[in-house]
């Protein structure tokens, strides 16, 4: 018996190797997690704790950052505040302790909604267009196919800032400047190249026989695509959607240049939350923390697909 005399399997890594690999992964995870933990902690600090040096690890948690994120406040005299009667909710009482009253909601929620609409809208568009063109590139004899694919990829080679000014001028002329539609179209055009390349890989992996079988069975090519190819490409579509969404959600440079009052997304808004006496760090951190939630939820929902997706082509199903 081979198993009786062999101390360890030749394909399974040994315990030492696994422990070493495990500790490397943990170390890497810790390093990447530190900024995140820092942000989340800062979100719950008071403004004084947030800028104290050396930084406080132990502190009294406060919701002032979240209150400052969602509200605008105005400074009043103590006499005026006393004349107002009891505070309206938690944020009002925090504000009053600093001789201020809540004046109204901040722009965070509208900016957040802009982000949701623009990021998800452009993701849906980019993935839809990407799937169709990837299918075309994968299945048909397209003239100059390789050149076209390279051209599509090349649109990602220069930094966004290089085209920002031309796009700004162009958008101003055609009235897309500072509109959600303009941002959706812009992010779609950036993401569609990624989507085409990723999805072409996935669709290449799906045997043509499936569509051919469906077409012989009486379906048109488009029906075969919808009923047979799409269900099998869900893994790739999910993985591509996550990558597109992450880009559109986090994009900063275009958003700063092309949006302001109307279509501004959260990324350019968050860093400029100003409190009294400069940057309101707890509010910035609170805005960032909440900003992470949708992308984390989306990624966790599609995690199964993502894990299979990024190893696509490696293993035959």
Please, what is the minimum distance in Å from the beta carbon of residue 206 to other proteins?
10
Which residues make Cβ contacts (< 8 Å) with residue 175, sequence separation at least 6? none
- 114 and 248 Cβ atoms separated by less than 8 Å: no
Q: Which long-range contacts (CB under 8 A, 24 or more apart) does 274-277 make?
A: 275/47, 275/68, 276/75
Chain-centroid distance, C-alpha 111: 15
Say whether residue 218 binds other proteins (CB under 8 A). yes
Binding other proteins by CB under 8 A: which of 170, 213, 272, 310?
213
Say whether residue 312 binds other proteins (CB under 8 A). no
Please, what is the minimum distance in Å from the beta carbon of residue 234 to other proteins?
8
Whose Cβ is closer to other proteins: residue 51's or residue 230's? Answer: 230
- Quote the CA–CA distance of 310 and 239 in Å, as a whole number: 7
Please, what is the minimum distance in Å from the beta carbon of residue 237 to other proteins?
13
Which residues make Cβ contacts (< 8 Å) with residue 206, sequence separation at least 6? 229, 232, 233
Please, what is the minimum distance in Å from the beta carbon of residue 227 to other proteins?
8
Binding other proteins by CB under 8 A: which of 127, 214, 242, 285?
214
Which of left, alpha, beta for 85 (phi over 0: left; psi -120 to 50: alpha)? Answer: left
Binding other proteins by CB under 8 A: which of 76, 99, 179, 232?
232
Q: What is the CA radius of gyration of the chain?
A: 26
Binding other proteins by CB under 8 A: which of 150, 217, 276, 301?
217
- Quote the CA–CA distance of 51 and 49 in Å, as a whole number: 6
Binding other proteins by CB under 8 A: which of 22, 61, 89, 231?
231
Please, what is the minimum distance in Å from the beta carbon of residue 312 to other proteins?
15
Say whether residue 140 binds other proteins (CB under 8 A). no
The stretch among 52-60, 68-76, 98-106, 203-211 that binds other proteins (CB under 8 A) is 203-211
- 265 and 45 Cβ atoms separated by less than 8 Å: no
Binding other proteins by CB under 8 A: which of 59, 168, 197, 210?
210
Length of the chain: 317
Whose Cβ is closer to other proteins: residue 219's or residue 247's? Answer: 219
Say whether residue 216 binds other proteins (CB under 8 A). yes
- Quote the CA–CA distance of 255 and 264 in Å, as a whole number: 7
- 282 and 46 Cβ atoms separated by less than 8 Å: yes
Binding other proteins by CB under 8 A: which of 59, 197, 219, 312?
219
Which residues are at the interface with other proteins (CB under 8 A)?
207, 209-210, 212-220, 223, 228, 231-232, 317
């Amino acid at each position: 018996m081979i198993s009786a005399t062999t101390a360890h399997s030749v394909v399974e890594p040994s315990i030492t190797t696994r422990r070493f690999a495990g500790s490397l992964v943990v170390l890497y995870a810790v390093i990447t997690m530190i900024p995140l933990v820092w942000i989340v902690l800062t979100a719950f600090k008071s403004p004084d704790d947030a800028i104290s040096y050396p930084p406080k690890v132990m502190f009294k948690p406060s919701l002032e950052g979240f209150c400052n994120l969602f509200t605008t406040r105005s400074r009043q005299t103590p006499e005026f505040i006393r004349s107002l009667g009891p505070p309206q909710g938690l944020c009002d009482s925090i504000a009053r302790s600093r001789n201020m009253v809540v004046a109204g909601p901040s722009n965070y929620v509208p900016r957040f909604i802009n982000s949701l609409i623009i990021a998800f809208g452009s993701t849906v568009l980019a993935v839809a267009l990407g799937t169709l063109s990837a299918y075309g590139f994968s299945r048909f004899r397209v003239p100059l196919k390789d050149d076209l694919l390279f051209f599509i990829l090349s649109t990602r080679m220069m930094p966004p800032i290089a085209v920002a000014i031309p796009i700004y001028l162009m958008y101003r002329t055609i009235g897309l400047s500072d509109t959600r539609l303009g941002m959706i179209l812009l992010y779609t055009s950036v993401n569609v190249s990624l989507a085409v390349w990723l999805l072409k890989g996935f669709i290449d992996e799906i045997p043509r026989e499936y569509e051919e079988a469906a077409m012989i069975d009486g379906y048109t090519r488009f029906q075969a695509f919808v009923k047979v190819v799409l269900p099998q490409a869900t893994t790739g579509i999910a993985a591509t959607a996550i990558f597109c969404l992450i880009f559109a959600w986090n994009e900063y440079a275009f958003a700063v240049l092309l949006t302001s009052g109307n279509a501004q997304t959260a990324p350019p808004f968050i860093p400029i939350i100003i409190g009294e006496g400069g940057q309101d760090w707890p509010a910035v951190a609170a805005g960032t923390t909440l900003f992470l939630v949708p992308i984390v939820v989306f990624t966790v929902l599609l995690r199964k697909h993502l894990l299979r997706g990024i190893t696509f082509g490696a293993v035959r199903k």
